[in-house]
Amino acid sequence: MSRILLLGAGRSASSLLHYLLHHAAPEGWQLTVADVNPDHLSATLAAHAAYARPWPSIFSKRLSCTSWSGRPIL
């Protein structure tokens, strides 16, 4: 299983995001998408909740530093 962190999900990253979502399940990838405003990602990632999730704003003071398993990253 590979873990992928995509930093920034603006218009220029939409093709990459769709590629990663399309291949995540068959390849066994877990995708985390971090963006300054992750609200626009909710609808896209909701359909792929088993292997993709949005990350809170990368500038948020409430940033959660946990891995997929729930253990702290730092």
In a domain, 17, yes or no: yes
Question: CB of 22 within 8 A of CB of 6?
Answer: no
58 CA to centre of own chain: 12
In a domain, 64, yes or no: no
Q: Which residue has the higher pLDDT, 8 or 24?
A: 24
Task: List the CATH number of the domain containing 7.
Answer: 3.40.50.720
Q: Which residue has the tokens 């990350």?
A: 55
In the chain, the number of structural domains is: 1
In a domain, 10, yes or no: yes
Q: Which residue has the tokens 């500038």?
A: 59
Task: Please compute, for residue 66, the number of CA atoms within 13 A of its CA located in the half-sphere on the CB side.
Answer: 9
In a domain, 42, yes or no: yes
In a domain, 63, yes or no: no
Query: What's the domain range around 29?
Result: 2-55
Question: CB of 39 within 8 A of CB of 70?
Answer: no
pLDDT, tens digit, 9 for 90 and up, residues 15-28: 899 999 999 999 99
Rounded to an integer, the average pLDDT of 35-48 is: 82
Average pLDDT score, the chain: 79
pTM, two decimal places: 0.68
**What distance in Å separates the CA atoms of residue 21 and residue 54, rounded to the nearest whole number?**
12
